[in-house]
Structure 1
Amino acid sequence: MSEKLQKVLARAGLGSRREIEVWISAGRVSVNGKIAALGERAGPQDKVRVDGHVINSDKLFPEKRRVILYHKPVGEICTRSDPEGRPTVFDQLPPIRFGRWISVGRLDLNTSGLLLLTTDGELANRLMHPSVEIEREYAVRVMGKAEKDILDNLRQGVMLEDGEARFDQIIDGGGQGINHWYHVILREGRNREVRRLWESQGVAVSRLMRVRFGNILLPRSVRPGEWEELSDAQMRDLLALTGMTEQRTASVKSSGKPSRQTHEKSIGALSRQTPKKSIGALSRQTPKKSIDASSRQSREKSIDASSRQSPKKSIIASSPKKRKLAAKPAPRRNKS
């Protein structure tokens, strides 16, 4: 079965559809030795070249779209190779027969937590695109409790060297001694943005962990260096954030926010010990609904690894109650 060239090349991770359309218009793409035109189609039997270089058919036409959730430990980098010989996240991933794993954004060397990887380059590009505004949630440990004026600055916006940035939400997670935990939410993925925001206020970050991307959260069952394949339900929800669909899956428009049920459950243990005012925008947007035993069990499973070392009051992100994204996780696979 043939598909439009721009879709095929975007899926291979060579660029966005719009970028590839520009390449085709400029005559940089050929099919079976002939310069391609916009709207031209190609199939597994065709030989596709970009700037004269043959693109492997297995890369252009992978078997099935796959997405895995990887728990990145501190000390691994998100590039495929490193001249310094440092370990990379790609060293730990399951082998695939066709195509390759493409990282959905990056986490820096000293940041741990949830990292999504997919065989679909177009999906990766859409998930990373700023216009989609998918929420990223991080657990942050800082030295000492931040003053109110610092938190206000971080919510209202701070001018960094690459433009203004801010946190959509900051939730106090409590702390002991000199360490204090916060959960912060933002809708973009600039380089070291979370750290730079805190550093702009003179606050040192001693630990940083991503616990949620959109409505996909880091399960407690997936330990550092381990991965888990997304379930069909999780895949549908993830595709809905970008407007993409799988066969027999209807398109669902979304702003990239978790559902109201996710907000309700994401306040976790913090809401049991903290006055409602400290929950901020989360509680204002969340209806007061009872949480049954199964949802409490799901919430407990989704406690990220940072909560085991942080105070009990640190919050967790959780999956929507109706969809139960983590209800039937795929079998955990240790690195080998």
Structure 2
Amino acid sequence: MPKYDPLAGDRPEGERIAKLLARAGVASRREVERMIADGRVSLDGKVLETPATILPDLRGVSVDGKPVGKADQTRLFAFHKPSGLITAERDPKGRPTIYTALRNALPRDAGRVMPIGRLDFNTEGLLLLTNDGELKRQMELPASRVPRTYRARAFGDITQEQLESLMEGIEIDGVRYGRIDANMERRTGRNQWIEMTITEGKNREVRRVLEHFGLEVSRLMRLGYGPFALGDLQRGQVVEIRKADLERFRGSLARPGK
């Protein structure tokens, strides 16, 4: 079984199996490493013991006893997630998931896709989906600083000055949130629409920040993720991102300082 020894001079051709499996859409690289640690991945019938295994391709690799096909070309889809869906494959409480809606919305040849990040049960808007676990991980990492833009309808009192203070970041209950670009779009009485752009994407970040100011969020929509926008995509609909646009974006992720 080929394995790279950093003390040896002959580095084998190929890539780490975790990276290959992520690109094949099995799971993110980190999740694949956990699967290997749990003994769920094998090569030619032998259980793998390390994610450092270097392979030229996925020939002979099985996950949970099922052979893995070759890595497909990376694809990216934009989905307008309606409110009332769980961003997961299944829900212990029996609530509908995004895959219920995606069953008829995705192209027949889309294969297995994974959501990039999550949208809460009551949050709607742009949800990106990919068959490439490595792209998913890159876009989710806070270090990648991919901007996510949201529009929130909230009830309560807040000023533009308070929103602008978020440019310096904020700490709430011991959790530090980085720079947030927030602006009041319009106000009617004590109801207002607020647009916020974040780059870390921490769990329930937008809701927690607004609730910290005493606001009650009644509607939350994601409008954009990186250069990809919700636009006029209707609820429940899916559109594939053009290959040229995807490759241009991936190139920007790979550049130093991005």
Question: Which TM-score tier does this pair reach, normalised by the shorter chain?
Answer: 0.7 to 0.9
Offset of 1:73 from its aligned partner?
Answer: 0.9
Normalised by the length of structure 1, the TM-score is: 0.63
Runs of 4 or more above 6 Å deviation: none
2:74 equivalent among 65, 68, 74: 65
Counterpart CA distance in 2 for 1:254 and 1:229 is: 28
Match of 1:48 in 2: 62
2:152 alignment partner in structure 1: 140
* CA drift at 1:20: 3.0
1:4-43 → structure 2 map (5 Å cutoff): 4-11=16-23, 12-16=25-29, 20=33, 23=36, 29-34=41-46, 38-41=52-55, 43=57
Higher relative contact order (CA 8 A, sep 6+): 2
Of 229, 233, 236, which residue of structure 2 is paired with 1:217?
229
**Of 161-170 and 108-117, the range deviating more from structure 2:** 161-170
Distance in 1, Cα, partners of 2:219 & 2:247: 32
Can you give the 5+ residue segments of structure 2 that lack an aligned partner in the other structure?
A: 1-13
- Contact 2:158/2:213 (CA < 8 Å) preserved in 1? no
Answer whether contact 1:154 1:197 (CA < 8 A) is retained: no
For residue 123 of structure 1, what is the aligned residue in structure 2?
135
Structure 1: which 5+ residue stretches go unaligned? Answer: 244-251, 256-336
Larger displacement relative to structure 2 (86-95 or 62-71) = 86-95
Q: Secondary structure at the match of 1:205?
A: strand
Superposition deviation, residue 155 in structure 1: 3.1
Secondary structure, aligned partner of 1:224 = coil
Are the counterparts in 2 of residues 140 and 208 from structure 1 also a CA contact under 8 Å?
yes
Q: State whether residues 164 and 183 of structure 2, in contact with CA within 8 Å, keep that contact through their aligned partners in structure 1.
A: no
CA contact (8 A) 1:77 1:86 kept: yes
Distance in structure 2 (CA, Å) of the matches to 1:86 and 1:27: 31
Amino acid at match of 2:29: S
What is the TM-score when the length of structure 2 is the normalising length?
Answer: 0.80
- Asked if structure 2 preserves the Cα contact closer than 8 Å seen for 1:31 and 1:42, the reply is no
Report deviation, 1:254: 6.2
Which of 100, 104, 113 is the aligned partner of 1:91? 100
**Separation (CA, whole Å) in 1 of partners of 2:60 and 2:110:** 16
Evaluate the alpha carbon distance shift between residue 253 and residue 228 of structure 1 in structure 2; reply closer, same or farther with a 3 A threshold: farther
Query: What code does the residue aligned with 1:189 have?
Result: G
- 1:97 is displaced (CA, Å) by 5.2
Alignment partner of 2:247 out of 236, 241, 246 = 236
Deviations 1:232-268 (A, max 9, x none): 232123312432xxxxxxxx5562xxxxxxxxxxxxx
Q: Is the 8 A contact 2:148 2:226 kept in 1?
A: yes
1:165-204 CA-partner distances (Å, limit 9, x unpaired): 1443112212334321121111111111100001111111
Does 2:210 correspond to 1:198? yes
Percent identity for Structure 1 against Structure 2? 32
Q: In the alignment, is the contact (CA less than 8 A) between 1:241 and 1:254 conserved in 2?
A: no
Change (3 A) 1:184 1:156: same
Please say if residues 16 and 55 of structure 2, whose CA atoms lie closer than 8 Å, have aligned partners that are also in contact: yes
Query: What is the count of residue pairs matched by the alignment?
Result: 239
* Partners of 1:18 and 1:205 in 2: CA distance: 33
Deviation at 1:223, TM superposition (A): 0.6
RMSD, aligned α-carbons: 2.9
